[in-house]
């Protein structure tokens, strides 16, 4: 029957927790492209912002088990499996295609406005975004991050969507493994962390793995989230004062560990990435109980709204960064990085980019993601009436 009949209640703290990671990732990509701010209090968390992808992969594993874990047997039937994949694609695909179209429009605009002024479009300069026909096919089929290409392509952050699609394909395996008690959950989560340790042993870029070996990063993070969901399933109804106290203490302690890892954990893209990745993923479990000071903060109206727009904010950031690069070509000399106003402009750009990503993310959520998802889910319910 329809998901609305058996869907478990929404975990509000996890909705709000989705708000901040995309904004950190926007600043991370901005600073990697344009330079950091020279303020350690800002630069340290931003420079390690790529690790918030761990949060989203773990959150995905947690939520899918939370919603679909009780229907693992149905996922092995053709109708149930195809219905599940179609439902997930209805969530992932519309915004993915929309942001590719937006990037293509910015490509056209960049070449159209640069030519008459004798400028070279940023898409035709060194270190330009890779927008080839071959990689477009990979992006359309959501396989661009499956170790098939030597670089990111088109809407670069959508490598995450490619890995999410792979994880959806593999999900029946995870759902079957997730049957069991809390001990089973601990073993699954530990196996995911062991996978991250193995990756870090051989990686020269820490956990900043995307088009190459991003699949293994995603699988390991996803396994951690699956394990946390099994633990949560066995503990969620525990309401004793001791349990509530442990949740409060755990959230505060986890923030302390996270701050230590960010500011005292050394350089980014090293084996010490695990000092940040593990507490980031552990936030998923501790917030899932919807109790404690951090959970209450995440339930505020502003963060809930940003959480609703988070997927669109994440995907639209790259096209807007390329638009910013195009606009920079028309700056007067004083506004360039070495010019008189360079540092001021740099900070203003960051603020404007954040605001633009939030505004565009909200608009894309309302105009593309939500209506497209509703329309596609109606079609899915018609095609798979017993399993939708």
Summary mean pLDDT of the chain: 91
Render pLDDT for 53-94 as a digit per residue (tens, 0 to 9): 999 999 999 999 999 988 888 889 988 999 999 999 999 999
Q: How far apart are the C-alpha atoms of 205 and 272, rounded to whole Å? A: 11
**Assigned domain for 207 exists:** yes
Which token pair is 110? 């960049």
Query: pLDDT confidence of 160, banded at 50, 70, 90?
Result: very high
CB atoms within 10 A of CB 347: 11
* Predicted local confidence at residue 112, as pLDDT: 92
At residue 14's C-alpha, the angle toward residues 185 and 55, to 5°, is: 65
Query: What pLDDT is stored for residue 343 in this prediction?
Result: 73
Within a domain: 388: no
pLDDT tens digit sequence for 198-215: 999 999 999 999 999 999
Q: What is the pLDDT of residue 383?
A: 80
In a domain? residue 129: yes
Structure-token pair, residue 176: 């079957």
User: Is residue 139 a part of any domain in this protein?
Assistant: yes
Q: What is the tally of structural domains in the chain?
A: 1
Specify the range with the lowest mean pLDDT, choosing from 62-76, 173-187, 228-242: 228-242
pLDDT at 116: 87
Identify the band that residue 336 occupies on the pLDDT scale cut at 50, 70 and 90. low
Q: Is residue 178 a part of any domain in this protein? A: yes
Residues 374/379/382/384 CA torsion (nearest 10 deg) = -100
Residues 333-354, mean pLDDT to the nearest whole number: 78
| Predicted TM-score (pTM) of this structure | 0.93
pLDDT in tens, 98-126: 999 999 999 999 999 988 888 888 888 87
Q: What is the DSSP letter of 10?
A: P
- Give CA–CA dist 40/259, Å, rounded: 13
Provide CB contacts within 8 A for 192, sequence distance 6+. Answer: 219, 220, 221, 222, 223, 224, 225, 226, 227
- On whether residue 377 sits in a domain, the answer given is yes
Task: Identify the pLDDT of residue 335.
Answer: 65
Residues of the chain with pLDDT > 90: what percent? 74
Is 62 domain-assigned?
A: yes
Determine contact, residues 177/188, Cβ cutoff 8 Å.
yes
Q: Which domain covers residue 130, as residue numbers? A: 3-383
pLDDT at 317: 97
Residue that is written with structure tokens 């293509």 in the block: 104
Report pLDDT for 2.
40
CA distance 232 to 69: 12
Task: Give the model confidence (pLDDT) of 9-32 as tens digits.
Answer: 889 999 999 999 999 999 999 999
Q: Closest by alpha carbon to 360, among 306, 313, 308, 290?
A: 313
Residue 138 lies in a domain: yes
């Amino acid at each position: 029957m329809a998901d609305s009949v058996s869907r478990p209640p929404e975990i509000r703290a996890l909705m709000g927790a989705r708000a901040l990671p995309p904004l950190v990732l926007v600043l991370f990509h901005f600073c990697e492209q344009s330079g950091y701010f020279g303020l350690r209090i800002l630069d340290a968390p931003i420079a390690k912002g790529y690790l918030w992808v761990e949060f989203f992969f773990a959150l995905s594993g947690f939520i899918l088990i939370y919603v679909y874990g009780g229907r693992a047997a149905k996922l092995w039937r053709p109708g149930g499996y195809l219905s599940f994949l179609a439902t997930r694609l209805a969530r992932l695909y519309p915004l993915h295609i929309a942001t590719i179209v937006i990037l293509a429009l910015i490509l056209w605009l960049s070449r159209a406005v640069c030519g008459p002024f004798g400028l070279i479009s940023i898409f035709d300069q060194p270190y330009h975004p890779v927008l080839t026909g071959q990689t477009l096919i990979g992006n359309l089929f959501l396989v661009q991050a499956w170790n098939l290409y030597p670089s990111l392509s088109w809407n670069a952050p959508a490598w995450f969507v490619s890995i999410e699609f792979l994880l959806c394909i593999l999900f029946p395996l995870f759902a079957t493994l997730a049957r069991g008690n809390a001990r089973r959950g601990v073993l699954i989560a530990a196996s995911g962390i062991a996978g991250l340790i193995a990756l870090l042993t051989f990686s020269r870029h820490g956990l900043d793995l995307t088009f190459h070996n991003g699949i293994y990063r995603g699988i390991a993070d996803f396994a951690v989230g699956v394990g946390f969901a099994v633990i949560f399933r066995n503990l969620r109804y525990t309401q004793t004062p001791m349990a509530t106290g442990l949740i409060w203490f755990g959230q505060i302690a986890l923030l302390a560990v996270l701050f230590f890892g960010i500011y005292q954990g050394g350089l980014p893209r090293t084996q010490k990435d695990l000092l940040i990745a593990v507490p980031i993923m552990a936030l998923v479990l501790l917030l899932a109980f919807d109790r404690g000071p951090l959970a209450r903060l995440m339930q505020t109206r502003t963060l809930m709204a940003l959480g609703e727009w988070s997927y669109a904010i994440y995907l639209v950031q790259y096209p807007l960064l390329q638009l910013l690069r195009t606009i920079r070509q028309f700056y007067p000399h004083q506004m360039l990085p070495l010019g008189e106003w360079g540092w001021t402009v740099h900070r203003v750009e960051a603020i404007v980019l954040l605001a633009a990503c939030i505004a565009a993310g909200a608009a894309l959520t309302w105009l593309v993601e939500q209506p497209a998802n509703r329309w596609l889910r109606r079609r899915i319910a018609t095609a798979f009436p017993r399993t939708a």
